[in-house]
């Protein structure tokens, strides 16, 4: 079976790490009987260099007509790169916002997983992490406070700023459905996070999530207030499977959760819409400080590719195999510089890709 994948190598370390993810996908395809048909798409700085703008209609159409997009990271060093002398709407990041909007990618998925082998980097106490943690944060990405009406006025000589937080039940329902679907592929638990003791938007959120839960009797649901969730993430992270939450809470909680893993080069992410389509990319940026040196950690991108296999292509077995390959290679003591520790073997980007692809 052939799968049509749009590939955005991106800027900085992007092309280096995406090449390794493609290597791993191709190896998995040989084993599990599928083939990837890649179409290269320019976005961000790479697109500015060729087309004078960070995204083109053609790029969006190529992405739209694919089953999924695999992306490196985009952007450069804001202090030195000529891309940042352009007006904001022509800078690299504008391309990313434009593709998210054009493809209606409303659900942002960020897993936070603690690798046994990398436990030493986890900032939490051993007695807290216990048997580890493996959670998936699902953040609503296109509604709420960041997209509400905003204004700053002066009333009676006093400056006053207003931001509005709006959700309608359709927006809540579609992401809740996504979260329950994903919980079904995991440990069948959804924790919905809100501030229902104060906010009307959270009370509606809670009510709609309850309604959706009725269609998933095999998935357990609990509700947690956001302030408590912020505490629980460092107190007992092992209790979470899928965390479902709105835009701003998810922004903050997903950064918190990723930091308790202690390894930026390892964190994958996905942005999904109502269909099977998704955009898969590492959580980190384009790391211009190490670009071209062959030392970037490709694992976040490889794990993003595994998410693509699982969520857009329904190739769960191959996704498991890629994730297990990462664990094996870490277990054998291979490390890129960002996760290097004593007694381990340091390898570069390509070698890390080769090692993972070989399983
Ligand atoms: P960054 O994540 O690129 O780098 C932060 C630090 O982590 C750097 O020291 C870098 O060398 C290191 N690092 C990141 N990924 C790594 C990897 N795979 N292996 C080893 N080390 C790694 O964040 P920064 O420096 O704030 O941003 C750099 C550029 O990336 C900016 O232009 C920013 O706008 C862009 N960016 C793009 C994102 C995207 O494409 N979605 C997300 C975040 C930032
Ligand atoms: Mg953030």
Number of domains in the chain: 2
Domain containing residue 216: CATH number: 3.40.718.10
pLDDT in tens, 288-324: 999 999 999 999 999 999 999 999 999 999 999 999 9
Q: Residue 284 Cα, ligand 1 centroid: separation in angstroms? A: 5
At residue 161, the pLDDT reads 97
pLDDT confidence of residue 258: 87
Neighbours of 260 (CB within 10 A): 18
CA of 248 to the centre of ligand 2 (A): 9
In ligand 1, which atom is closest to the CA atom of 287?
Answer: 3
Cβ contacts of 307 within 8 Å, gap of 6 or more: 109, 111, 268, 269, 270, 278, 280, 319
Backbone region of residue 262 per phi and psi (left: phi > 0; alpha: psi in -120 to 50; beta: other values)? left
Judge if 251 and 174 occupy the same domain.
Answer: yes
Angstrom distance (rounded) from CA 19 to CA 350 = 9
Q: Is residue 118 part of a domain?
A: no
CA atoms within 13 A on the CB side of 139: 24
pLDDT of residue 70: 98
- The confidence band for 173, taking pLDDT boundaries of 50, 70 and 90, is very high
The answer to whether residues 284 and 353 belong to one domain is yes
CB 216 within 8 Å of CB 173: no
Please tell me whether 297 is known to bind a ligand.
yes
Closest ligand (CA of 13): 1
Catalytic residue, from 255, 314, 316, 320: name it: 255
Is 236 considered catalytic here? no
For 106-144, write each residue's pLDDT tens digit. Answer: 999 999 999 888 888 888 888 888 878 999 999 999 999
ipTM given for this complex: 0.97
My answer on whether 164 and 94 are in the same domain is no
Q: Which helix (H) or strand (E) holds 71?
A: strand 68-73
* Residue pLDDT, tens place only, 174-195: 999 999 999 998 999 999 999 9
pLDDT of residue 109: 96
Q: How far apart are CA 341 and CA 156, in angstroms?
A: 60
Q: Do residue 298 and residue 341 come from a single domain?
A: yes
In sequence order, what are the beta bridge partners of 116? none
The band of 147, judged by pLDDT with boundaries at 50, 70 and 90, is: confident
Residues with CB under 6 A from ligand 1: 13, 73-76, 93, 96, 264-265, 281, 284-290, 296-297, 300, 338
209 shares a domain with 183:
yes
The answer to whether 320 is a known catalytic residue is no
343: left (phi over 0), alpha (psi -120 to 50) or beta: left
Q: Report the atom number in ligand 1 closest to the C-alpha of 337.
A: 20
Are 144 and 229 within one domain? yes
Task: Say if residue 144 is in the same domain as residue 212.
Answer: yes
Is 15 a member of any domain?
yes
Which secondary-structure segment (H or E) carries 331? helix 316-331
Residue 25 resides in a domain: yes
CA of 198 to the centre of ligand 1 (A): 36
Task: Find the domain containing 137 and state its range.
Answer: 123-256
Q: Is 195 a catalytic residue?
A: yes
Annotation says 255 is catalytic: yes
Kindly give the distance from the C-alpha atom of residue 32 to the centroid of ligand 2, in angstroms, as a whole number: 36
Asked whether 271 and 109 are in contact (CB, 8 A), the reply is yes
- Torsion of Cα atoms, 108 then 111 then 112 then 118, to 10°: -140
- Residue to mutate (ligand 1; options 286, 305, 349; most atoms within 8 A of CB): 286
Instruction: Check whether 222 has a pLDDT greater than 90.
Output: yes
150-166 mean pLDDT: 96
């Amino acid at each position: 079976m052939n799968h049509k994948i749009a590939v955005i190598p991106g800027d900085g370390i992007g092309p280096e790490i995406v090449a390794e993810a493609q290597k791993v996908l191709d190896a998995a395809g040989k084993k599990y009987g599928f083939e990837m048909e890649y179409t290269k798409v320019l976005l961000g700085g790479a697109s500015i260099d060729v087309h004078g703008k960070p995204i083109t209609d053609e790029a969006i159409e190529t992405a739209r007509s694919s089953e999924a997009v695999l992306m490196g990271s985009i952007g450069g060093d804001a202090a030195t790169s000529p891309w940042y002398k352009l007006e904001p709407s022509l800078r690299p990041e504008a391309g990313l916002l434009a593709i998210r909007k054009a493809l209606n990618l409303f659900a942002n998925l960020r897993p936070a997983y603690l690798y046994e082998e990398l436990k030493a980097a986890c900032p939490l106490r051993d007695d807290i992490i216990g048997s580890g943690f493996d959670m998936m944060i699902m953040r609503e990405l296109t509604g709420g406070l960041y997209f509400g009406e905003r204004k700053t006025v002066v009333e009676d000589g006093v400056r006053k700023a207003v931001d509005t937080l709006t959700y309608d039940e359709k927006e809540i329902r579609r992401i809740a459905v996504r979260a329950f679907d994903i919980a079904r592929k995991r440990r069948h638990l959804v924790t919905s996070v809100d501030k229902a003791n104060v906010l009307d938007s959270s009370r509606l959120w809670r009510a709609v999530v309850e309604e959706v839960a009725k269609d998933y009797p095999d998935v357990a649901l609990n509700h947690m207030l956001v302030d408590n969730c912020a505490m629980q993430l460092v107190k007992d992270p092992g209790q979470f499977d899928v965390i479902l939450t709105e835009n701003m809470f998810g922004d903050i909680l997903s950064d918190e959760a990723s930091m308790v893993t202690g390894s930026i080069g390892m964190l994958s992410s996905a942005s999904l819409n109502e269909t099977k389509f998704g955009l898969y990319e590492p959580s980190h940026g384009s790391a211009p400080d190490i670009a071209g040196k062959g030392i970037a950690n490709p694992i976040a991108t490889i794990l993003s590719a595994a998410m693509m296999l699982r969520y857009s292509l329904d190739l769960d077995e191959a996704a498991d195999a890629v994730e297990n390959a990462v664990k094996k290679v870490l277990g054998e003591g291979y490390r890129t510089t960002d996760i290097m520790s004593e007694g381990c073997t340091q390898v570069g980007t390509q070698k890390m890709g080769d090692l993972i692809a070989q399983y």
